C-alpha cells in the first residue's frame, strides 16, 4: 500500500534493481523492501487489484525470476503476488492467507482500533491458511491453544528477528560484537518499540536512554536536536535506530552533530525451510 507515501496510483517502487522513488513518495516500508529485495519488483498501490494489473501490464512475470528459479518452478506461466498487510483486503481473491501473530504481545488488550491494536476480532484468524508466530524461537503452548479455538487446520510456524549488523549513515558496516559493552541511546518510531529495545540490550549494550516516537513518525529538525541533547546528557558512545527510521531521517542527518555516531541496526527475518515448502506446495 505504501503507507504515507505521496505517489498516487499504481507505480513501481522498484523493478528489482533498487528504489525508483524516494521514501516520501513510496512510504518507508515499501522503500526498504525496494532496497533489500533485489530481483523482486515492488509496486505501490492503494487498490491492490489495480496494482496487480499494473504489474502484469508492465512485464513483471518476465522480471521476477529469483523465486521461481530457487524452487524450480515455471516462471513463464505464473507469478506470485505478495500482498504486504493484506489480511483485511477481503475483496481481492487470494490463494493463501498467511497470518503473522506477534509472539511478544499477540493480541494486545484484545480491543479493536482505536481502543486497541487489533484490526478485527481475534476469531477472524479462522481465515488463515498458515500462521506464523513472530519474535519467538519456539511456538508457545498457551498461544497455540488460543489459536486452535478459532483455527484447527492452519499449520503454525515460529520465526524470529535476528540482529545482523550495524550500519553507519555512510554505509559502513559495524559488527554486533564491536558494540558489546559500549554505551548508547536509541530511538525509534515503529509499531513494537519494546522489541527493538530488548534486541539492543540483549546485545550487551549499555542502553542509557530510549526515545519512542509514534509509528511511521516523520522526523524534523526539532526531533534531531532532542535526540542530540539526550545523547550528550547521557554521554553515550553511540546513537542507534532502526532501518525504517534511518530512511525517514533522510537528509536531516546532515544537521546532526553526531553523524559519525549514528547507527541503524539491520535485522534479518528467520524462519525454517518447512515454512517455504508449505507455501510453495500450496501454489
pLDDT one digit per residue (tens) for the chain, 283 residues: 877 778 888 999 999 999 999 888 998 889 999 999 988 999 999 888 899 899 888 887 554 444 445 445 454 456 789 998 889 888 888 899 999 999 988 998 999 988 998 999 999 999 999 999 998 888 899 999 999 999 999 999 999 989 999 999 888 999 999 999 999 999 999 988 999 999 999 999 999 999 999 988 999 999 999 999 999 999 999 999 999 999 989 888 887 777 889 999 999 999 999 999 999 999 8
C-alpha cell at 65: 525470476
Of 72, 10, 65, nearest to 281 by C-alpha is: 72
Radius of gyration of the chain (CA): 20
Closest CA to 44 of 19, 78, 79, 8: 8
Size of the chain in residues: 283
Cis peptide before 114 (omega within 30 of 0): yes
pTM: 0.84
CB 256 within 8 A of CB 230: no
Contacts of 282 (CB under 8 A, 6+ apart): 95, 96, 129
* CA max distance for the chain: 60
What's the pLDDT score for residue 62?
56
Q: Is 182 strand, coil or helix?
A: coil
**Nearest 5°: phi and psi at 252?**
-60, -25
The predicted pLDDT at position 68 comes to 45
Question: What is the C-alpha separation between 107 and 113, in angstroms, rounded?
Answer: 12
Distance CA 61, CA 33 (A): 18
- Cα 39 to chain centroid, rounded: 18
Distance CA(237)–CA(231), nearest Å, equals: 8
CB 44 within 8 A of CB 7: yes
Instruction: For residue 185, give the C-alpha cell.
Output: 541511546
Tell me what pLDDT residue 192 has.
Answer: 87
Determine the pLDDT at residue 61: 59
Query: CA 120: distance to chain centroid?
Result: 21
Amino acid at each position: 500500500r505504501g503507507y504515507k507515501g505521496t505517489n498516487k496510483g499504481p507505480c513501481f517502487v522498484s523493478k528489482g534493481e533498487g528504489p525508483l522513488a524516494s521514501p516520501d513518495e513510496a512510504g518507508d516500508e515499501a522503500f526498504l523492501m525496494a532496497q533489500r529485495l533485489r530481483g523482486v519488483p515492488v509496486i505501490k498501490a492503494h487498490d491492490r487489484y489495480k496494482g496487480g494489473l499494473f504489474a502484469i501490464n508492465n512485464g513483471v512475470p518476465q522480471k521476477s525470476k529469483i523465486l521461481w528459479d530457487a524452487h524450480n518452478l515455471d516462471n513463464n506461466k505464473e507469478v506470485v503476488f505478495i500482498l504486504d498487510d493484506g489480511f483485511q483486503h477481503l475483496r481481492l481473491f487470494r490463494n493463501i492467507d498467511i497470518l503473522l501473530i506477534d509472539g511478544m504481545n499477540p493480541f494486545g488488550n484484545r480491543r479493536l482500533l482505536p481502543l486497541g491494536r487489533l484490526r478485527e476480532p481475534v476469531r477472524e484468524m479462522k481465515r488463515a491458511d498458515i500462521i506464523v508466530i513472530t519474535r519467538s524461537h519456539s511456538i508457545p503452548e498457551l498461544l497455540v491453544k488460543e489459536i486452535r479455538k478459532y483455527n484447527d487446520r492452519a499449520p503454525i510456524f515460529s520465526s524470529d528477528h535476528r540482529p545482523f549488523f550495524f550500519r553507519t549513515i555512510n554505509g559502513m558496516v559495524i559488527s554486533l560484537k564491536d558494540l558489546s559493552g559500549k554505551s548508547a541511546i536509541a530511538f525509534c518510531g515503529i509499531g513494537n518499540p519494546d522489541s527493538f529495545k530488548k534486541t539492543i540490550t540483549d546485545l550487551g549494550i549499555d542502553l542509557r536512554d530510549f526515545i519512542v516516537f509514534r509509528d511511521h513518525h516523520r522526523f524534523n529538525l526539532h526531533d534531531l536536536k532532542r535526540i542530540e541533547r539526550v545523547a550528550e546528557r547521557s554521554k553515550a558512545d553511540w546513537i542507534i535506530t532502526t532501518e525504517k527510521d534511518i530512511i525517514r531521517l533522510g537528509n536531516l542527518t546532515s544537521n546532526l552533530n553526531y553523524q559519525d555516531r549514528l547507527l541503524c541496526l539491520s535485522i534479518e527475518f528467520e524462519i525454517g525451510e518447512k515454512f517455504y515448502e508449505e507455501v510453495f506446495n500450496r501454489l
